[in-house]
A and B are shown apart, each in its own frame.
Chain A
């Protein structure tokens, strides 16, 4: 599978992350989105008329929406990430995949404006992003009340991966995550998953690695 990729794109990161978590090897093609605007070039428009990144190609299949790519990777390599057979859970996953597009628009828009100096109405994007974050926080709080950690089912699913990147990078767009304790714990649970990989702006959880013992001072 070939992924047309951009290291700073949270949508592209969703696919790299999902592939890493389920053990699929992707062939990455780096696209010079910034500053080159290569995603708007004719060669890439031929693959994706919308001119957006990422693009996933698997034989004849060309996907340009990250939610569809997550479904594709899960079906191929790890169907458990699609949740169980429960009707409500299946619907909830679709709900969160659709919700993740709002995150792209609002949190992603704020980030592009604030960090990459692209045009945008920053206060309006941040206000809309705050409503999204509150909705997610409320949902995750309800999950915690019934003893659950992830958005749907009793395990991580593509719903979590679809929502995680833009939320984790909200501070890039000037939105603090301090007001959201349930989001904080959920992000930590995702970052602790075996096979998890970072992207710039999401730091390594150094606490998962023990302090290098040989270097400890003798007393303090």
Chain B
């Protein structure tokens, strides 16, 4: 009942509309992993501590997102492929307000 719809464009450019639960204490990075939209080992490397940028994504819808923490700001300052709409997926909690969110995964660093 508390699922929301999120559109995720993977690193190959393929768009996926997925159901994300709001009652499982999940973040966007975990949603991507649960649907295996990016290969294991290429996303969520630090486990969700905002200490790597492997879950960087570009937010394409105009949802109001929570402010970036200092950790997220600092990590994005050192990440590659950063754009104005870059966020770390692990720092975006899935809540009902995010219904209809559209994000694109940033390229993997290699």
A binds B: no
